[in-house]
Amino acid sequence: MNIESKRRKGLQLYYFDIETTGVDSEKDKVITLQWGNLDFWNPQMVVPITIFPEWESSEENILKSAWNLLMEKDQWDFLPVGFNILHFDLPFLFSRFRTVLGKDVSYEFLDRPSLDLKATFVLMNGGKFKGCNRFIRKTESGSVIPKYYKRKEYAKIINYIQNEAVAFHEAFSELRNRLNMS
């Protein structure tokens, strides 16, 4: 299938997120990678999200999976969608690719499609960054993840991830409805 026929068929949108032990990609690590297929015209997850936890494998294996999804698949086969992925998730991953895998991400990635909904939520929030995450109605902040990880409370991390995915999908649906794309 060529690129044009893939575009006509529809985008392969994937909710995409990571959890980390902190915000410093030089010293902190990726502890989960999660994604779930989205159908743009019916913004429900097509299948339950896939969660790849470090405590069942390794950070290196998580990074290899992320590399495969983001860098080796055809750009139209895996289009990541998330909140703040262009300013946190992807740069963090790219830094860890370099540190752990010894692989650099070329600037070609910037030509690959991705959707970061943070900018849209900033506009919906009257142009204010502070509070723009209110559209994703999460019950707790991601700042709890390093604490849970340190205490080996892995079930709490999984629960947080599942709740966050549901909150993201609800926000995605609301945005789609506001744009009258029914």
What one-character-per-residue DSSP string does 8-52 give? HH---EEEEEEEESSS-TTT--EEEEEEEEEETTEEEESSPPEEE
**pLDDT (average), residues 145-164:** 95
In sequence order, the β-bridge partners of residue 32 are 19, 53
Give residue 98's pLDDT.
93
Greater confidence (7 vs 110) lies with 110
Split at pLDDT 50, 70, 90, the class of 9 is: low
Give residue 155's pLDDT.
97
Greater confidence (42 vs 27) lies with 27
1 pLDDT more than 80: no
Give residue 158's pLDDT.
96
Give residue 13's pLDDT.
86
Helices (H), the chain: 3-9, 59-67, 90-96, 118-124, 145-150, 154-178
Percent of the chain with pLDDT over 70: 86
6 pLDDT more than 50: no
Q: Which of 44, 5, 10 is nearest to 113 (CA)?
A: 10
Task: Give the separation between CA 118 and CA 35, rounded to whole angstroms.
Answer: 17
Give residue 2's pLDDT.
47
What does the pLDDT look like over 45-93, one tens digit per residue?
A: 666 899 999 999 999 999 999 999 988 888 888 889 999 999 999 999 9
44 pLDDT more than 80: no
Split at pLDDT 50, 70, 90, the class of 97 is: very high
Residue 83 — φ and ψ, nearest 5°?
Answer: -115, 115
Give residue 57's pLDDT.
95
State whether CATH 3.30.420.10 applies to domain 3-22+31-178. yes
139 pLDDT more than 90: no
101 pLDDT more than 60: yes
